[in-house]
Amino acid sequence: MTQPFALVGTARPKPERAEELKRLLLSFVEPTRLESGCLEYHFHEDRDEPGVFVFYEAWRSRADLDAHLALPHMHDFWEHRMDYLETDLDIRFLTMHSPYRPADRPDR
């Protein structure tokens, strides 16, 4: 397997939309983890800045991420994200230098 296609993103919601955005982003977790190309998908809230959300994703390939983003619920979110956000998503694409080891490996 080649190295995964990974990213980390930060969402800074409008204060009055923070809880609504949190619920929406949480609703994406389980369906996304079930997608065939998804290796890791985690949703976090900043401990020092409550209401700031951070997500980490690792995909088998860029094509798998693109397929995820083309799903109707993700396309809808992308089109309406600024209804929730103060500033646009800060997304950083990552190069993974450490070997990827699946979470379900037998040595755990």
Helix (H) or strand (E) holding 40, with range, is: strand 38-45
CATH number of residue 29's parent domain: 3.30.70.100
Predicted confidence at residue 103, as pLDDT, reads 62
Range of the domain at 71: 5-94
- The torsion angle over the Cα atoms of residues 73, 91, 83 and 24, rounded to 10 degrees, is 40
Radius of gyration of the chain (CA): 15
Predicted confidence at residue 108, as pLDDT, reads 39
Average pLDDT (25-43) is: 96
Cα 61 to Cα 5, 13, 17, 39, 68: the distances in Å are: 5, 29, 32, 10, 11
Average pLDDT (26-43) is: 96
Is residue 37 in some structural domain? Answer: yes
Q: Is the pLDDT reported for residue 52 higher than 70?
A: yes
Model confidence over 3-23: pLDDT tens digits?
789 999 999 999 999 999 999
Question: Across all residues in the chain, what is the average pLDDT?
Answer: 91
Higher pLDDT, 97 or 35: 35
Q: Is the pLDDT reported for residue 100 higher than 90?
A: no
Contact 50, 71 (CB under 8 A): no
Domains: count for the chain: 1
Q: pLDDT grade, residue 107 (50/70/90)?
A: very low
3-state SS class at 2: coil
